[in-house]
């Protein structure tokens, strides 16, 4: 059975008991120079299979005279991707070559430049590679023992240098102030209610409303710092606005960038203003003139830009949203852009026809009732309805539903006349049937 042997950054497979049985024979034919590196790797402390004295015995037992094509059939070496391949340089690359390769890769994968998934992890990986290969001592340890050798050196991967500082040292990018620039916060939106009468909602109106909002502090001019004092660099994050925490796990070292809690990501701390408490804003009342367009209804929402709360640290102000509430009219009812009205007439007017006065949003208007109209008939008064929102020249209609009232009680004279009318109707019907 083949046995896997960990050796630094390599895994050697295929060495089993058969190899041990061949130590005192001449079947192994390999150059001493070719195998010296492999033997030294096998003697590293991370290998628990071959002790160091056994590897010397193995080395001395091989013959340097015969080619190694037989050994090639026995050894299969799987190399993990090392720091040189991460930076794309050879193992004999100079410091300037390593630095140049890092600069090129860092520009492509820095999180401020590349927003693709995995770019930040790639950037940390190449930064880690450069951290090792740019240091002569660490590079020497890495070349000899691999990553495992660095665990015992002065390099503690749990305290790995912040890759953002490493990147900043090469390029003219103000990484330290990145958090402060991005921490400008827009002001919050405000919502208030406005009550209108029925006619104000139909035809529009100009209103002056009183709004309580957060505005820039007049004492500190929105900076949040006490008058006469200056902001200074946050000692917790060093002015970056962010802190990097590292933790070692079985899968490797993980780094997490978080907003600094001491300065809330601004990179600066200061003595807070006595008036606003460091917020940079104070509550004020402001009168705002609002033009309500014709055709609004209950639930309509008007937006007034930049009249909400002021932003922080130069952020844009929020907006003001005005929600409309309309008081219903006791007579006229609204149905979208149409207005509904119920007209009551007597049965005599329904028989003979008449003209009645009808209330509209434009005032009282005459409506002609044709003779013989049936109860429940709807008459249309064109363009007496509500203007279409933002289309003032277009209006709906007023729909008048005719309701015929039948009297519950009649006077003697009224009854006599109705009976005569009924008899006349019967006589006319009989005469018509005889013909």
Residue 58 falls inside a structural domain: yes
Q: What DSSP line would sit under 301-331, residue for residue?
A: EEEETT-SPPPBTTPPP--EEEEEEEPPPSS
Token pair 């960038």 is found at: 257
327, 342, 371: which is the final residue of a domain? 327
Write out the H or E segment, with its range, that includes residue 340: strand 338-346
Q: Residue 225: is its pLDDT beyond 80?
A: yes
Neighbouring C-beta atoms of residue 385, cutoff 10 Å: 26
Q: Say if residue 392 is in the same domain as residue 404.
A: yes
Q: Say if residue 222 is in the same domain as residue 349.
A: no
Residues present in the chain in total: 435
Q: Say if residue 380 is in the same domain as residue 347.
A: yes
Q: Give the per-residue pLDDT at 160.
A: 44
Phi, psi for 50 (deg, rounded to 5): -110, 110
Q: Say if residue 192 is in the same domain as residue 62.
A: no
pTM for this entry: 0.53
Q: Say if residue 184 is in the same domain as residue 316.
A: yes
pLDDT tens digits for range 19-28: 434 444 343 3
Q: Residue 17: is its pLDDT beyond 50?
A: no
Phi, psi for 48 (deg, rounded to 5): -100, 5
What is the 8-class DSSP label of residue 27? -
Q: Residue 221: is its pLDDT beyond 80?
A: yes
Beta bridge partners of 333: 340
Q: What is the largest CA-CA distance in the chain?
A: 148
**CA neighbor of 259 nearest in space, from 183, 314, 316:** 183
Neighbouring C-beta atoms of residue 401, cutoff 10 Å: 14
Q: Which residues contact 212 (CB under 8 A, 6 or more apart)?
A: 283, 284, 285
Phi, psi for 228 (deg, rounded to 5): 90, -5
**For residue 380, what pLDDT band results from cuts at 50, 70 and 90?**
very high
CATH number of domain containing 187: 2.60.260.20
Ranges of H-type helices in 176-217? 178-182, 198-203
26, 59, 79: which is the final residue of a domain? 79
What is the number of domains present in the chain?
4
Q: Say if residue 200 is in the same domain as residue 320.
A: yes
Q: Say if residue 401 is in the same domain as residue 361.
A: yes
Domain of 29, in residue numbers: 5-79
Residue 256 falls inside a structural domain: no
Q: Give the per-residue pLDDT at 434.
A: 59
Residue 386 falls inside a structural domain: yes
Q: Say if residue 129 is in the same domain as residue 116.
A: yes
CATH number of domain containing 143: 1.10.287.110
Residue 211 falls inside a structural domain: yes
Q: When comparing pLDDT for 137 and 179, which is higher? A: 137
Question: Exposed/middle/buried for 291, CB within 10 Å: 0-12, 13-18, 19+?
Answer: exposed
Query: Can you tell me whether residue 164 is helix, strand or coil?
Result: helix
302, 327, 352: which is the final residue of a domain? 327
> Can you tell me the distance from the alpha carbon of 158 to that of 154, in angstroms, rounded to the nearest whole number?
12
Write out the H or E segment, with its range, that includes residue 290: strand 281-292
Neighbouring C-beta atoms of residue 402, cutoff 10 Å: 21
Buried b (16+ CB within 10 A) or exposed e, 199-230: ebbbbbbeeebebebbbbbebbebbbbbeeee
> Is residue 126 within 8 Å of 90, Cβ to Cβ?
no
pLDDT tens digits for range 299-313: 999 999 999 999 987
Q: Which of 55-59, 234-238, 390-394, 415-419 has the lowest mean pLDDT?
A: 55-59
Q: Which residues contact 113 (CB under 8 A, 6 or more apart)?
A: 107
Tokens of 174: 């103000």
Q: Say if residue 415 is in the same domain as residue 346.
A: yes
Residue 261 falls inside a structural domain: no
Name the CA dihedral angle for 327, 332, 335, 340, rounded to a multiple of 10 degrees. 170
Residue 258 falls inside a structural domain: no
Q: Give the per-residue pLDDT at 123.
A: 85
Q: Residue 338: is its pLDDT beyond 70?
A: yes
Q: Residue 54: is its pLDDT beyond 50?
A: no
> Is residue 324 within 8 Å of 196, Cβ to Cβ?
yes
Q: Give the per-residue pLDDT at 164.
A: 52
The residue-averaged pLDDT of 19-46 equals: 40
**For residue 67, what pLDDT band results from cuts at 50, 70 and 90?**
very low
Neighbouring C-beta atoms of residue 191, cutoff 10 Å: 11
pLDDT tens digits for range 411-422: 889 889 888 888
> Can you tell me the distance from the alpha carbon of 167 to that of 37, in angstroms, rounded to the nearest whole number?
36
Q: Say if residue 182 is in the same domain as residue 323.
A: yes
Name the CA dihedral angle for 35, 37, 41, 43, rounded to a multiple of 10 degrees. 70
> Is residue 13 within 8 Å of 79, Cβ to Cβ?
no
Residue 236 falls inside a structural domain: no
User: Taking CA 242 as the corner, what is the angle to CA 239 and CA 247, rounded to the nearest 5 degrees?
Assistant: 130
Q: Say if residue 345 is in the same domain as residue 430.
A: yes
Phi, psi for 210 (deg, rounded to 5): -105, 120
Residue 263 falls inside a structural domain: no
| HSE-up of residue 396 (Cα within 13 Å, Cβ side) | 21
Q: Say if residue 209 is in the same domain as residue 69.
A: no
């Amino acid at each position: 059975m083949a046995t896997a042997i960990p050796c630094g950054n390599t895994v050697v497979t295929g060495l089993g008991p058969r190899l041990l049985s061949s130590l005192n024979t001449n079947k192994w034919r390999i150059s001493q120079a070719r195998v010296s590196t492999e033997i030294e790797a096998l003697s590293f402390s991370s290998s628990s299979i071959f002790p160091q004295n056994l590897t010397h015995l193995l080395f001395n037992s091989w013959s340097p005279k015969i080619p190694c094509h037989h050994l090639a059939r026995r050894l299969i070496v799987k190399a993990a991707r090392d720091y040189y391949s991460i930076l794309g340089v050879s193992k004999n690359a100079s410091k300037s070559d390593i630095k140049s390769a890092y600069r090129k890769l860092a520009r492509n994968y820095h999180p401020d430049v590349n927003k693709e998934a995995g770019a930040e992890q790639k950037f940390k990986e190449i930064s880690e590679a450069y951290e090792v290969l740019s240091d002569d001592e660490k590079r020497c340890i890495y070349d000899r023992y691999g990553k495992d050798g660095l665990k015992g050196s002065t390099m503690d991967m749990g305290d790995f240098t912040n890759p953002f500082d490493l990147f900043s040292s090469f390029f003219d990018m103000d990484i330290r102030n990145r958090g402060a620039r991005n921490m400008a916060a827009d002001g919050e939106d405000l919502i208030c209610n406005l009550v209108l009468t029925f006619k104000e909602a139909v035809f529009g109106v100009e209103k002056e409303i009183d709004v309580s909002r957060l505005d820039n502090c007049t004492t500190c001019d929105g900076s949040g710092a006490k008058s006469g004092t200056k902001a200074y660099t946050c000692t917790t994050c060093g002015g970056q606005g962010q802190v990097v925490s590292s933790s070692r796990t079985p899968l490797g070292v993980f780094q997490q960038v978080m907003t600094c809690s001491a300065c809330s990501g601004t990179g600066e701390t200061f003595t807070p203003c006595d008036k606003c408490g460091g917020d940079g804003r104070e509550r004020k009342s402001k009168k705002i003139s609002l033009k309500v367009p014709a055709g609004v209804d209950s639930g309509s929402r008007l937006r007034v830009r930049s009249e909400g709360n002021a932003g922080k640290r130069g952020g844009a102000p929020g907006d003001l949203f005005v929600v409309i509430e309309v008081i219903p009219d006791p007579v006229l009812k609204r149905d979208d852009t149409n207005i509904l009205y119920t007209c009551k007439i007597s049965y005599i007017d329904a028989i003979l026809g008449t003209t009645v006065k009808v209330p509209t949003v434009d005032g009282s208007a005459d409506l002609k009732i044709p003779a013989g109209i049936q109860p429940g008939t709807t008459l249309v008064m064109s363009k007496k309805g509500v203007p279409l929102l933002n289309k003032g020249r277009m209006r709906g209609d007023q729909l008048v539903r005719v309701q015929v009232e039948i009297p519950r009680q009649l006077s003697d004279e009224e009854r006599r006349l109705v009976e005569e009318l009924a008899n006349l109707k019967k006589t006319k019907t009989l005469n018509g049937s005889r013909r």
